[in-house]
Amino acid sequence: GDVLSGLLAALLAQKGANTREVAALGVFLHGLCGEKAAEAATSYQVIASDLIGQLAASYRVLLTET
């Protein structure tokens, strides 16, 4: 929950942020970070800092697929 709430707060702080879009983007990125972190180790070993470590890679995926 800490990573998700921080991610949502950071996205909402951006000028012109739409709350509905921010919620969808935040949840998507959070899930993608979790998937990437689990691939790097196992789903049993993922901690919050692992999710944060995957943010840049997750943004790259998002930007290349849109």
Q: What is the pLDDT of residues 7-49, one digit of tens each?
A: 999 999 998 899 999 999 999 999 999 999 999 888 888 999 9
Question: pLDDT value at position 43?
Answer: 80
**Contact in structure between 55 and 25 (CB atoms under 8 Å):** no
Using the structure block, give the residue that is written with the tokens 């509905």: 20
Whole-model pTM? 0.87
- When pLDDT is cut at 50, 70 and 90, the band that residue 66 belongs to is low
Question: pLDDT value at position 58?
Answer: 94
